[in-house]
Amino acid sequence: MLHKCMFSGSGGQGSALMAKMVCLGAIKENLKVVMTQTYGIEQRGGDSTAYVIVSDEPIGSPIVENDADIAVALSQSIYGNCFAGVVPDGMLFTNSSMVENPKESDAFKQVFLPVSDTAVQLGTVRCANMVMLGAVLAGTGLLKLETVEEVVRETIGNKKPQLVELNIEALRSGYSAMKKES
């Protein structure tokens, strides 16, 4: 098993946190994992992409270069890069609340979910990344939902325990929405 992932959004949307959760979850599931990240020079609002490779075999190179089989686009500004970076038969998860001009592809599957709108309904747009991560887990089987819930409890619980249940609810919401899509 080998998955090359790219988690992209505008700065502050939590794409790097999504990637971190995947990395920590992969470690808990005894998988090999590596993460790299790119971001603009802006403090807030610039595009940011975190690249994660998850495998049950040793990982030879940490590079994800237009060969992601799992991609996430949280904003319109990064959508084009994500679209171009997905391999045939891969999946592109797109935040339809923010991406207003999607392209069409017959080469890979696109999933459009209004994760920002869903997050607002849950209480804050800041958990849109967790809604999307739940959808990714359901749509790809990358990791177990329970594993990532445990990572959320440990990671977010250490810094902001009052946000743990909201983020778990967001994960579950995205997971359920994706299961309904399938």
Name the band, by pLDDT with cuts 50, 70 and 90, for residue 45: low
Please name which of 76, 73, 78, 77 lies closest in space to residue 91, comparing C-alpha atoms: 73
* Domains of the chain and any CATH numbers: 2-181 (3.40.920.10)
Name the band, by pLDDT with cuts 50, 70 and 90, for residue 44: low
Q: Which residues pair with 48 in a beta bridge?
A: 9, 39
Query: Cα(129)–Cα(116) distance, rounded to whole angstroms?
Result: 8
pLDDT of residue 114: 97
